[in-house]
């Protein structure tokens, strides 16, 4: 193919970036800060941990190290091994509470980094984080061992507020293998139980946030931000499929909801108290998850379609769905080769 002449200089045509390449260009600053452009440009521990994990999956050591260094310098400031959850572009960290799913992803990313690039001490860091997740973020209630969403703010005396999507099954299993402790199998079993109890509404879908009451009682949607299957709960099929739980009733129910012929489009959310669907369609990240739960769904095509997605969260979901498709036990021979930079 001939070179293109622009302004007197010859330029070879540039190949379109892969989805991971696009994500890096748009959302990873040169410093290693992962920018959530849908949330006032903040950074958070979840985004940093996802970026580190995705870099290991795509064998991208320079990007991993950039994100890792920024994360350690700016979010590892709590006094334990967990991360402060929110960093604002003006003012820096303004909330040092932890976000437990981010800490789980952070530890998992470090374990995977040790496997890819051994000798940097990543495993020791992961084990220290795992120890503090158990110490700070686990709670016993009526014989159940549950994951608190953060170090504080979710225990309201007579009830706990929980987020089912914080049970990242493949990561919990990796931590259990690397850091044997009776809390891990208890958490995994409790997560599977919570997946079933958190389903509500016409389509039996999981709530974004739930209330677990002391001394028994049903698991109910949290009334302020939990009365919907939306951007939190939509992550659950990724984690279930990724860990080989693709036959889970929850995965089947989510798939049935998305394939309901009564919907004129794939709804972005549904409220569980009145079964009202969103008046607009889901983003491309949700579409990739839909492909993931379909038998024989071509997740790679959906992710390729998200290569020009302008939203941090949607792009993240698409890349995580692609990773789940590639690595899930019993899901065929899906590959990430076409997605590598």
Residues with catalytic annotation? 46, 101
Phi, psi (degrees; rounded to nearest 5) at 3: -70, 155
Q: Which of 121, 246, 118, 103 is nearest to 175 (CA)?
A: 103
Query: Can you tell me the distance from the alpha carbon of 4 to that of 12, in angstroms, rounded to the nearest whole number?
Result: 6
Q: 125, 135 in Cβ contact below 8 A?
A: no
**Residue partners of 14: CB distance under 8 A and separation at least 6:** none
Pairing label, strands 220-221, 92-95? unpaired
Query: What 8-state DSSP symbol labels residue 12?
Result: P
Sign for the CA dihedral angle at 312, 265, 239, 79 comes to positive
Query: Can you tell me the distance from the alpha carbon of 176 to that of 38, in angstroms, rounded to the nearest whole number?
Result: 34
Strand partners, 199: 206
Q: Which of 33, 122, 132 is nearest to 86 (CA)?
A: 33
Phi, psi (degrees; rounded to nearest 5) at 202: -55, -40
């Amino acid at each position: 193919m001939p070179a293109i002449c622009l302004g007197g200089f010859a330029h070879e045509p540039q190949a379109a970036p892969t989805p991971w390449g696009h994500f890096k260009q748009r959302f990873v600053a040169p410093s290693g800060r992962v920018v959530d452009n849908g949330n006032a440009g903040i950074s958070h521990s979840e985004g940093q941990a996802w970026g580190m994990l995705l870099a290991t999956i795509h064998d991208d050591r320079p990007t991993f190290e950039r994100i890792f260094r920024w994360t350690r310098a700016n979010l590892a400031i709590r006094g334990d091994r967990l991360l402060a959850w929110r960093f604002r572009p003006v003012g820096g960290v303004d909330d040092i509470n932890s976000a437990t799913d981010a800490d789980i992803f952070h530890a998992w990313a470090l374990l995977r980094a040790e496997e890819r690039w051994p000798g940097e001490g990543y495993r020791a860091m992961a084990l220290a984080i795992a120890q503090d997740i158990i110490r700070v973020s686990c709670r016993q209630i009526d014989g159940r061992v549950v994951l608190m969403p953060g170090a504080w703010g979710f225990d309201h005396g007579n009830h706990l507020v929980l987020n089912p999507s914080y049970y990242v099954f493949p990561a919990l299993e990796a931590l259990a293998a690397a850091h044997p402790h009776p809390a891990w199998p208890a958490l995994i079993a409790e997560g599977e139980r919570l997946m079933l109890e958190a389903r509500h509404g016409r389509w039996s879908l999981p709530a974004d946030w739930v209330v677990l009451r002391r001394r028994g009682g049903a698991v109910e949607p949290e009334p302020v931000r939990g009365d919907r299957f939306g951007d939190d709960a939509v992550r659950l099929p990724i984690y279930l499929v990724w860990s080989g739980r693709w036959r889970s009733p929850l995965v089947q129910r989510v798939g049935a909801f998305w394939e309901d012929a009564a919907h004129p489009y794939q709804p972005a959310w549904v409220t569980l108290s009145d079964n009202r669907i969103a008046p607009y369609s889901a983003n491309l990240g949700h579409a990739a998850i839909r492909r993931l739960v379909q038998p024989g769904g071509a997740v790679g095509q959906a992710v390729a379609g998200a290569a020009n997605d302008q939203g941090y969260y949607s792009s993240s979901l698409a890349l995580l769905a692609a990773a789940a498709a590639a690595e899930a036990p019993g899901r065929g021979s899906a590959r990430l080769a076409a997605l590598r930079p």
